[in-house]
Chain A
Amino acid sequence: MKEIELKGIKETVYYEKILNQMPLYIWKNEKVKGVFSALCVEYGSIHQEFKLEGKNKYTKVPSGIAHFIEHLNFYEPDGTTATDFYAKYGSEVNAFTTFNYTCYHVYSVKDVKSNVNHLLDFVLTPSFNKKMVNKEKNIIIEELSMDQDLPESNLYFTHYKNLFHKYKYSEQITGKKEDVENTTIEDIELVYDTFYHPKNMFFIVTGNVNPYEIAKITEENLKKKKLPAYKNPKIKKYREESSIVSAYTEIEGNVETPKVKISIKTPLSNFKNIDEIELRLMISLVVNSNFGPTSDLKEYLMEKDLMNYMSATRSFISDYLIITVNVETKYPKEVIKIIKDQFKKLEMTEENLRRKIHSSIATLVLKYDDIMSVNNNMQAEYLAFKTIIDNEREHLENINLTTINKVIKKLDSKNMAVTVLNPTTKEEKKQK
C-alpha cells in the first residue's frame, strides 16, 4: 500500500490498486467516529452509446439508464434490500448518479468491516427482474416530476442545450418520462454487465479506519467473486464543435424574478502548455476575483439595484471549459450587457492574487475536517485526474500574475450563451 503525503497540509492518503483492477484511496481520521465509504462506477447519464471489444457497431441505450440501475441495485438476491442490511447496523446507505458516474455510499459507525464488505457485495451482485423494473418505474417518474417542478432545473438543462451541440449534458440524469417507461430489463442487464466491473470502478474510504484492514477486506472480497472478464467497452465520443448552439434563449417558468445564466465556452486546447491542475486553480481564482463577493462588478450591480443574487462557477466538461455567471435580476437586458463587458475585461491584480492564494490555502487545510466532503473532493479529483492531487498547495504557490494573464487572454469571451428564465404570468411580463 502506498502512502501519499499531501504536501504542506500534513495529511496522508493511502492508495492501492486492488487486484490490479480497482483503485482504492483511503484518508484516515482517528479523531472522528464515522466512516464514509463510496464505491463508484464510471458510468453516468451521458454514457448512452458504446460498443464492446471486437464489435463494429455502437449500441444505444435509453437516457436515464445509469440512474435506473442505481435504484435497482439496492434489491438483493434473497428478496431483501441493501437498506434492510444497513438498517441492522444503524448505518446510512444511499446512492447518486451524475453525468459521469454512479456512486453508492455508506456512512457507518459500527462494524465497518461488514459494512464495507456488503457495499462491495450488493453493488457487484446484480439481482434484477421484470417485476422490480416495473415497480421502480413509478418511483423514478415521481422523482423526475419533483425535479421538473423546480424551475431552475429547467433553466440549467436548457442552458446546456444552448452550449453543447452533441454532448449529453442537456439531458436530465433521470431521463424523460418516456425513457423511463421504455427501459427494459434487457437494457439494464446489458449496461450492468458491461460497466459494473472493478476495472471500471474506484473506491474511496474516509474516516476512522485502519487503511491496511480496509485494503485487505476489499481484496479478499473481490477475490471471492467470480467476476467475468472486463468487456472493455468503448464509449462513443462526440466531437463537439467549439461554437455555442444558441447565443440567446428565453424560457418561462414558475419564478417571480427572472433568472439568467451567462456562459462562455472555451476549448481546453487553448491552454496547451499550462499545467492542468494549475489551470483549474487559476480559473477558480479569476472567476472568484471578477464575479465573486470581493469583485467591483458585484458591488456595482448591488449598488445600482440591478440584481438580487449573483454567483459564478467554472466547469471542465470533456474538452471544454465553461465559465457561468448566474444572476437573479428584474433587469436582465442591462445585467447581461454589463456581464458581457466584464467577460471582455477580466483581470487580476497582484493584491487580489496574493489574498486569494492565501485564502485558498486556508480552504485547502480546512477541507480536511469533514469525512464526507473529503470523500466527495477525492471523487472529483479522481474523475478529473485519475489520481489524487498531493501537491495542491505547491501549485497554488506557483501561480503568478504573468501566467494568470496568459490564461485570461486564452478565454473565448465572445463565445457566449445566455439563457433567461422569465416568470410565466402575463401580468408580470407587461411590467418588465
Chain B
Amino acid sequence: MEYQKYEMDTYTIYTIKTNKFKNCHMEITFYDNAKKEELGLRNFLVDMLCHSSKKYPRRKDLVIQLEELYQSYFYGISSKVGNMVVSSFVYDFLNPEFVSESTYLEEALKFPFEILENPNCSENAFDERSFKIIKKRILTDIDSIKENPTNYAFRRALFNMDKDSITAASVLGTKEEILKITPSSLYEYYEKFYKKSLCNIYIIGDLDMEQVVEIIRKNFHNNCLKNHQVQPFVENKTRRKELVVKEKSPFSQSNLVLGFNLEKLTKEEMFTTLYFFDEILCAGGLKAKVYNALREENQLCYSVSSINSKYDHMYYIYVGLDHKNVALAIKLIKKCIKEMAQGKISEEEMNLARRQLETSLEVVTDNQNSLINNYTFHSIVGAPLYDELKESYKKITIKDLKNLGKKLKLNFIYELQSKEGEE
C-alpha cells in the first residue's frame, strides 16, 4: 500500500494506492472545533446536501445517477469526536478497470463535488421541499433515541454527568434547535461551513492517483484559506465521589453505564496503552476480566461492552442485565478496575491481548473504511498508523497498564431501571 499526501492551497488530498479492492472509497472530510449550538445545524446540512442538489432536485434523481455510475454509493455523516466535529461525505465507486467507458473515472469523481458545490438552493435558501423532508426525519431520529435502551441509557448517563459538557451533546442537536432552523439560516450556515471548515480528502483504490488529484483539482473549488487549529480534547470534570443516578424505563432489562475519567494521559497511553488496557479489561470478549466476572463466573448478562472515548478523556462500561443483579455487577466491575490499577494482570492475559490486537490490526487492513479512518485521525490529530501501532503494542508492559489503571477515576454510575426494578 502506498500512502501519499498532496497539499493544495486550501485542502489536502491523502491517497492510499492498493489493488486489494474492486471498490474505490473516497471521503471528503470537513472538520472543525465543535460548537454545541451548531451541532444540529451541521448534521442537518450534511443530510440536506446528500438528499438532493441543483442538478438532481429529488432524492430519486440522485439515486438514479448513482445507479448509472455502476451502483455507486454517496452519503454523509457528521460525528462528534471529543471537541471536534467531523463531517464526511463518503463515496464508493467501482474500480474503472471493470468498466468499459474510458471517461468513467472522471465522471465518477465529478459527482460528489457537483453535489456539494451546487446544492438545491435558490435565493440564498435551501429548497423548501427537501428541507421539510430532512427536518422531519431528524426530529424523528431525536425521538427514536428513546426506543433503544443502550442509546438512551448512554444519552441520559452523559446528560446527568454534565449537561454542559460537549461530551453530553448529541450530534443531532436538540428538537428546539432543529425547529428554529430555516431554509435561509441553513444556507447561511452552508456558506460558513464550506468557507471555514478545515478540509481533507481521502481516497483509497487501485487508481492512478496523479490523475485522481488532477480531476479533484478541476472539480473542487474550495478557495478559502483556513489556518486555525483544532483542539480535539475535552477535559471533563472529575468527582471526589461518584455520582449515582437511577432513572425509570419501560424496558425489561436494566441498563447500567459506568463512566470513568481518564486523567492526564500521555499521547502513548491514549493511542496505544488504552487499547491494550481495554482489551484485557473488557473488549477482549469472553476472556476479558469484566466479561469473565459478569458472564462466565456469575451469569449476570449475555454481553458487556466498553467504549474508549479518549478524545473526551472518558472510558465507559455498559451492561444490560436483570435489575436484581445490578449491585453485584457494579461490585465486580469495580473489583476488575482495581485489579488493573494494582497490576494484577497475568502474563497469559498480556499475551492473549497482544495476539488479539495484532490480529485486529491485520484484519483492519483488509477493510477500506478502517484504513481510511486510521489515515484520517493520523492526519488530523497524529494518531499512529496501523503499522506504527503494531510496533507499539509489542512494547507494552504490565507496569504501563498499572499506571494507566491508576488514572481511571469513577465519575458516575447510571442505571436505567427495568420495569421490575422500579421502586
Chain A residues at the B interface, C-beta cutoff of 8 Å: 31-34, 81, 83-84, 87-92, 107-110, 135, 138-140, 142-143, 145-146, 148-151, 254-257, 292-296, 298-299, 302-303, 305, 308-309, 328, 355-356, 358-360, 362-363, 365-366, 368-371, 424
> From residue B91, how far is it (CB to closest CB) to chain A in Å?
14
Residues in chain A near residue B64, CB distance under 8 A? 294, 355
Q: Which one of B14-22, B192-200, B219-227 is at the A interface?
A: B14-22
User: In the bound complex, do residue B59 and residue A293 qualify as a contact, i.e. CB atoms below 8 Å apart?
Assistant: yes
B286 in contact (CB, < 8 A): yes
Residues from 233 to 250 in B contacting A, C-beta threshold 8 Å = 250
User: In the bound complex, do residue A33 and residue B253 qualify as a contact, i.e. CB atoms below 8 Å apart?
Assistant: no
A295-B253 contact, Cβ under 8 Å, with A145-B322, A365-B22: no
B352 in contact (CB, < 8 A): yes
Chain B residues at the A interface, C-beta cutoff of 8 Å: 19-23, 58-60, 63-64, 67-68, 70-71, 94, 98, 129, 132-133, 136-137, 140, 143-144, 146-149, 250-253, 284-287, 295, 299-303, 320-322, 352, 355-360, 362-363, 365-367
A34-B366 contact, Cβ under 8 Å, with A150-B148, A257-B143: yes
A305 and B144 alpha carbons, distance in the complex (Å): 18
User: In the bound complex, do residue A146 and residue B71 qualify as a contact, i.e. CB atoms below 8 Å apart?
Assistant: no
- Residue ID in chain A nearest B321 by CB atoms: A142
Residues in chain B near residue A292, CB distance under 8 A? 63
- Taking a contact as CB atoms closer than 8 A, the residue among A150, A256, A366 that contacts B23 in the complex is A366
- Residue ID in chain A nearest B145 by CB atoms: A256
Knowing that A90-B355, A293-B59, A295-B60 are A-B contacts, what are 18 other residue pairs whose CB atoms are under 8 Å apart, sorted by A's residue number?
A32-B20, A33-B362, A34-B366, A83-B285, A87-B352, A88-B355, A107-B359, A108-B359, A109-B363, A139-B299, A146-B303, A148-B252, A149-B251, A150-B148, A256-B144, A256-B147, A293-B60, A368-B22
A90-B358 contact, Cβ under 8 Å, with A149-B253, A359-B67, A366-B71: yes
> From residue A112, how far is it (CB to closest CB) to chain B in Å?
12
Residues in chain B near residue A293, CB distance under 8 A? 59-60, 63
A150 and B151 alpha carbons, distance in the complex (Å): 12
User: In the bound complex, do residue B143 and residue A87 qualify as a contact, i.e. CB atoms below 8 Å apart?
Assistant: no
User: In the bound complex, do residue A146 and residue B63 qualify as a contact, i.e. CB atoms below 8 Å apart?
Assistant: no
Listed from nearest, the 4 A-B pairs whose CB atoms lie closest are: A90-B355, A90-B359, A138-B299, A362-B70
> From residue B99, how far is it (CB to closest CB) to chain A in Å?
8
User: In the bound complex, do residue B63 and residue A294 qualify as a contact, i.e. CB atoms below 8 Å apart?
Assistant: yes
- Taking a contact as CB atoms closer than 8 A, the residue among B147, B285, B356, B362 that contacts A151 in the complex is B147
> From residue A31, how far is it (CB to closest CB) to chain B in Å?
5
User: In the bound complex, do residue B140 and residue A256 qualify as a contact, i.e. CB atoms below 8 Å apart?
Assistant: yes
User: In the bound complex, do residue A149 and residue B320 qualify as a contact, i.e. CB atoms below 8 Å apart?
Assistant: yes
User: In the bound complex, do residue A363 and residue B20 qualify as a contact, i.e. CB atoms below 8 Å apart?
Assistant: no
User: In the bound complex, do residue B253 and residue A257 qualify as a contact, i.e. CB atoms below 8 Å apart?
Assistant: no
> From residue A51, how far is it (CB to closest CB) to chain B in Å?
33
A396 and B336 alpha carbons, distance in the complex (Å): 56
User: In the bound complex, do residue B367 and residue A370 qualify as a contact, i.e. CB atoms below 8 Å apart?
Assistant: yes
> From residue A106, how far is it (CB to closest CB) to chain B in Å?
11
Residues in chain A near residue B252, CB distance under 8 A? 145, 148-149
User: In the bound complex, do residue A84 and residue B359 qualify as a contact, i.e. CB atoms below 8 Å apart?
Assistant: no
- Residue ID in chain B nearest A146 by CB atoms: B320
Residues in chain A near residue B71, CB distance under 8 A? 359-360, 362-363, 366
A360 and B143 alpha carbons, distance in the complex (Å): 35
- Residue ID in chain B nearest A71 by CB atoms: B302
User: In the bound complex, do residue A32 and residue B140 qualify as a contact, i.e. CB atoms below 8 Å apart?
Assistant: no
Residues in chain B near residue A305, CB distance under 8 A? 132-133, 136
> From residue B149, how far is it (CB to closest CB) to chain A in Å?
5
